Amino acid sequence: MTSAPLYTFNRSEELMSRARQVIPSGIYGAKNPANFVPGSYPVFLTTGEGCRIRDVDGNEYIDFLCSFGPIVLGHRHPKVEEAALAQASRCDSLNLPSEKWVELAELLVSITPVADWAAFAKSGSDVTSGALRMARAHTGREKVIAASGSYHGWHDWCSPIPTGIPAAERALVATFPYNDLEALKRVAAENKGQVAAVILTPFRHDFFRDEELPAPGFLEGVRALCDQEGIVLVLDDVRAGFRLDLGGSWEPYGVRPDLILYSKAVANGYPLAVALGREELRRAAESVYFSATYWSAAVPMAAAVATINTLREEGGIEQMRAMGQRFRDGIEQQASSLGLAITQSGPPAIPFMTFVGDTGFRRIHLFCGECARRGVFLHPFHNWFLMTAHKERDIDQALAVTEEAFKAVKAQFGG
């Protein structure tokens, strides 16, 4: 793979110029790596199989972005496809939910220690906003505390870009730096008696920075504060869910939220989101308006049942951890033997890497671009993901590419 000619993207570029004519920005959303590393990434893809994806120019990649998280088992995983196709041959969207509505809720409640009920939606933003509505109904309060820089979706209360959003909406959200318990306590005290929810990602996985696992005592302190002040603690597990622990990403820490929100990996790429809650919040969940036309579609629910069962039966969490560690160890060894200072962060199954002192992200842009042009799909400022389809030979093949990319960084920027 490494000695082959570097990839080119003519068809992608041609499609992008057509897209710009008829779609605002051609592709909206701010995360498309082709915008940041021009000429080194494809813009349009055609197929995915296992851990490999292919673009419209016919280039193949080992995928470490997993569709920004959803692909947890592998693209077109046979067991998920079989379940989805079987369901599609009967029904997807009908007047009323299918039996999968009940079966999936029972499965999720049975594997999630904090959950007594499940409510379904389509996207992460649906459930983060829905959870706040439930917390407000439960507490009779309006304010929310979130960590500054955490991503919770595109809705008015949390969009990272404020354009087009009423200031009054944002005034209800107070922020503090993730892992800073004292700062959180101060914000809670300033808003005493007014805070409905604290919403947190399981660890800090913001764009453009090293990931941070919860500091010792942080989660326990958040839980205690919420208990003391009657605040609903919401775990936004939309991005990390189903890669660290099938009972919720805080289970290894022994800290239990009041609501857990999933989307992305729950159905291996089929559109689905879930809010899971404690008994105490059932009345609030029943009282708020929470609905949409496609929320009960059966195919994604069948895919979710198959995804969760396959992860359980095949030890998926451990497999992703082991392969993520193999990738991390290989990268560490390559960077150190070339004398390049890097930081690897986050859990092995949701890793990220930066170059130390990389002002303007120029080194990581070059590194990821060089990887893409040789067949390894990493993102320069969004965390990476493992999937269970990554096997040792895929990791080793990817490492042969990262080695070339590190050499390119060294050649351009020195050690």
Site residues for ligand PMP, window 223-242 (CB under 6 A)?
236, 238-239
Nearer to ligand PMP, 237 or 404 (CB): 237
Nearer to ligand PMP, 100 or 239 (CB): 239
Angle separating helix axes 298-313 and 316-337, nearest 10 degrees:
70
- Does position 383 interact with ligand PMP (CB under 6 A)? The reply is no
Q: Are 19 and 26 in contact (CB under 8 A)?
A: yes
| Closest approach of ligand PMP to the CB of residue 214, in Å | 15
Q: Which residues pair with 52 in a beta bridge?
A: 49, 62
Long-range contacts for 8-15 (Cβ within 8 Å, ≥24 apart)? 8/57, 9/34, 9/39, 9/41, 9/42, 9/43, 9/55, 9/57, 9/59, 10/57, 11/44, 11/55, 11/56, 11/57, 12/42, 12/43, 12/44, 12/55, 12/56, 12/57, 13/43, 15/43, 15/44, 15/56
- Does position 123 interact with ligand PMP (CB under 6 A)? The reply is yes
Q: Which residues pair with 49 in a beta bridge?
A: 52
Nearer to ligand PMP, 154 or 413 (CB): 154
Residue of minimal Cβ distance to ligand PMP: 124
Nearer to ligand PMP, 299 or 401 (CB): 299
Amino acid present at 63 = D
Which residue from 139, 191, 201, 345 is in contact with ligand PMP, where contact means CB under 6 A? 201
| Closest approach of ligand PMP to the CB of residue 267, in Å | 12
Nearer to ligand PMP, 67 or 388 (CB): 67
Cα 125 to Cα 47, 237, 262, 291, 410: the distances in Å are: 26, 12, 10, 13, 40
Site residues for ligand PMP, window 143-172 (CB under 6 A)?
151-154
Among the residue ranges 58-66, 118-126, 161-169, 308-316, the one whose residues contact ligand PMP (CB under 6 A): 118-126
Nearer to ligand PMP, 67 or 402 (CB): 67
* Residues making contact with ligand PMP (CB under 6 A): 123-125, 128, 151-154, 201, 236, 238-239, 263
